[in-house]
Amino acid sequence: MPWKEISFMSQRFEFITMALKPGTNMTQLCKRYDISRTTGYKWLYRFVEEDIYSLEDRCRCPLHSPNKTPHKTEQAVLAIRQLHPYWGGRKIKTRLSHQGYEFVPSASTITAILRRNSLLDEAEAIKHTPFKRFEYDQPNQLWQMDFKGYFSINSSHCYPLTILDDHSRFSIGIRACTNERRSTVKNQLIQVFRTYGLPERFLVDNGSPWGSRDDFRYTKLTAWLTRLGVDISHSRPYHPQTMGKDERFHRTLKVEVLHNQVFDTIDEVQMRFDKWRNIYNLERPHEALGMDVPASRYEPSKRMYPETLPNIEYGPDDYVRKVQHKGEICFKGKIFELGKAFVKYPVAIKPTLKDGIFNVFFCHKKIKQIDLRNSWK
């Protein structure tokens, strides 16, 4: 994506974080961010030869200050708290360390400072206790995607679409959408794929536009993702903890971005999302990551997004049928229903070891098993 006036600083931080990872292909990385190699190396040089402050207007507190007093330390704690009203002692302590302060109080001391200055809600603090969750071993093995509940903007609504990498908690994207339609999600995913590549799998909720775990399993959107080689998993109905990381991310988004905020336009919302996403990925310490930031554990996928989808091809021994307008195929004189998500697409029918039982594949994905003893299934 090209540098934009609104979010260019966010993109520079993110680009440099990725460029510094071992084995990075600079040409490919610059292509992902739609900038020239000259521009990419310019910002990398400034970061390496100067400091991070050359990229953004921010507090230039000295790294070494022999005359610093406890009062100044407290003021630094309060400044971070003012900038991030919902950060606690552990996050502020880590942030002070990243900023290079020579003396950094313990988390408990910082909590005492917040309490002394009437900045700590005791009832709210009790809710924030560490919780260990399962996570995938590598970035891009699984992305969690969901819409957060909508909120009003003048006479319309905003539906935040969030995408989170399971391993690193890196926010792949926060998109301010005006609806939850398939075309909207697809357009947003294309932009994301062009920058970060393709994941191996998505974990999504049940319902439109991504289908459900059981009866309504496939949609036009999931069929498109299957063509890209991206698998889809659905969360268990009525079990939001299945998508716990994205649900937790939504709670953080609500508290740190949307709480008591009023927006006039969808563009204003997106600007706010872009600014906070930069903080979340590159500055905000994450307790589940040992107080590292998500960007420290993330790198773009090596699977590039294909601007032109490849043709769907099957093996010479497969029975190939084109799905008709009602989502049906005819095989050996019998009709079988596959679903309207696959209308006009070819599917492959492969025999199993059981007589009369066949598996139906769409691209690499098995989508159904049919029984020739039943005329409709």
Tell which wins on pLDDT, 299 or 376: 299
In a domain, 19, yes or no: yes
In a domain, 200, yes or no: yes
pLDDT of residue 5: 47
Residue 182 has pLDDT above 90, yes or no: yes
The average confidence (pLDDT) of the chain is 82
pLDDT > 90 fraction of the chain, expressed in percent and rounded: 41
Is there a single domain that holds both residue 194 and residue 150? yes
Q: For the chain, what is the largest distance between any 2 Cα atoms, rounded to a whole number of angstroms? A: 89
Q: What angle do CA 7, 13, 14 make, to 5 degrees?
A: 85
Is there a single domain that holds both residue 14 and residue 112? no
- Sort residue 255 into left (φ over 0), alpha (ψ -120 to 50) or beta: alpha
pLDDT of residue 215: 58
Is there a single domain that holds both residue 191 and residue 255? yes
The strand pair at 346-351 and 319-322 is best described as antiparallel
The mean per-residue pLDDT over the stretch 167-187 comes to 94
Where residue 106 sits, what CATH number does that domain have?
Answer: 1.10.10
Is there a single domain that holds both residue 244 and residue 276? yes
pLDDT of residue 123: 47
3-state secondary structure of 233: strand
Overall domain count for the chain: 4
Residue 119 has pLDDT above 80, yes or no: no
Residue type, 90: R
Is there a single domain that holds both residue 22 and residue 123? no
In a domain, 331, yes or no: yes
Where residue 270 sits, what CATH number does that domain have?
Answer: 3.30.420.10
3-state helix, strand, coil in the chain (%, to 5): 40, 20, 45
Is there a single domain that holds both residue 354 and residue 238? no
Whole-number Å distance between alpha carbons of 41 and 73: 36
H or E stretch covering 347: strand 346-351
Q: What angle do CA 357, 360, 361 make, to 5 degrees?
A: 145
Q: 11-20, 123-132, 155-164: which has the highest mean pLDDT?
A: 155-164
Last residue of a domain, one of 297, 331, 346: 297
Q: How confident is the model at residue 6 (pLDDT cuts 50, 70, 90)?
A: very low
Last residue of a domain, one of 297, 332, 350: 297
The mean per-residue pLDDT over the stretch 142-146 comes to 93
In a domain, 134, yes or no: no
Residue 2 has pLDDT above 60, yes or no: no
Is there a single domain that holds both residue 42 and residue 74? no
Is there a single domain that holds both residue 238 and residue 165? yes
Query: Could you read off the pLDDT of 211-246 as tens digits, one per residue?
Result: 776 556 789 999 999 999 999 888 765 455 556 787
Whole-number Å distance between alpha carbons of 151 and 71: 41
In a domain, 63, yes or no: no
pLDDT of residue 16: 82
Query: Could you read off the pLDDT of 247-298 as tens digits, one per residue?
Result: 888 888 998 988 888 899 999 999 999 999 999 999 888 787 778 889 999 9
- Per the CB < 8 A criterion, the answer to whether 272 and 167 are in contact is no
Closest among 261, 175, 345 to 365, alpha carbons compared: 345
Residue 100 has pLDDT above 80, yes or no: no
Closest among 7, 375, 48 to 191, alpha carbons compared: 7
Is there a single domain that holds both residue 149 and residue 293? yes
Tell which wins on pLDDT, 126 or 79: 79
Query: Could you read off the pLDDT of 34-91 as tens digits, one per residue?
Result: 888 888 888 888 777 766 555 554 455 555 545 443 577 778 888 888 788 778 777 8
Q: How confident is the model at residue 120 (pLDDT cuts 50, 70, 90)?
A: low
Which two tokens mark 30? 């610059």
- Sort residue 152 into left (φ over 0), alpha (ψ -120 to 50) or beta: beta
pLDDT of residue 277: 94
Tell which wins on pLDDT, 103 or 361: 361
pLDDT of residue 107: 78
Query: Could you read off the pLDDT of 326-355 as tens digits, one per residue?
Result: 999 999 999 999 999 999 999 999 999 888
Tell which wins on pLDDT, 26 or 127: 26
Is there a single domain that holds both residue 76 and residue 201? no
Residue 377 has pLDDT above 50, yes or no: no
Interacting residues of 306 by C-beta distance below 8 A, sequence separation 6+: 228
Range of the domain at 38: 8-55
pLDDT of residue 132: 44
pLDDT of residue 130: 47
In a domain, 61, yes or no: no
H or E stretch covering 366: strand 365-371
In a domain, 20, yes or no: yes
Is there a single domain that holds both residue 173 and residue 275? yes
In a domain, 82, yes or no: yes
Q: Angle, to 10 degrees, between the axis of helix 220-227 and the axis of helix 182-196?
A: 20
Is there a single domain that holds both residue 147 and residue 256? yes
State the CB neighbour count (10 A cutoff) for residue 96.
20
- Per the CB < 8 A criterion, the answer to whether 170 and 184 are in contact is no
The strand pair at 201-204 and 143-147 is best described as parallel
Tell which wins on pLDDT, 10 or 98: 98
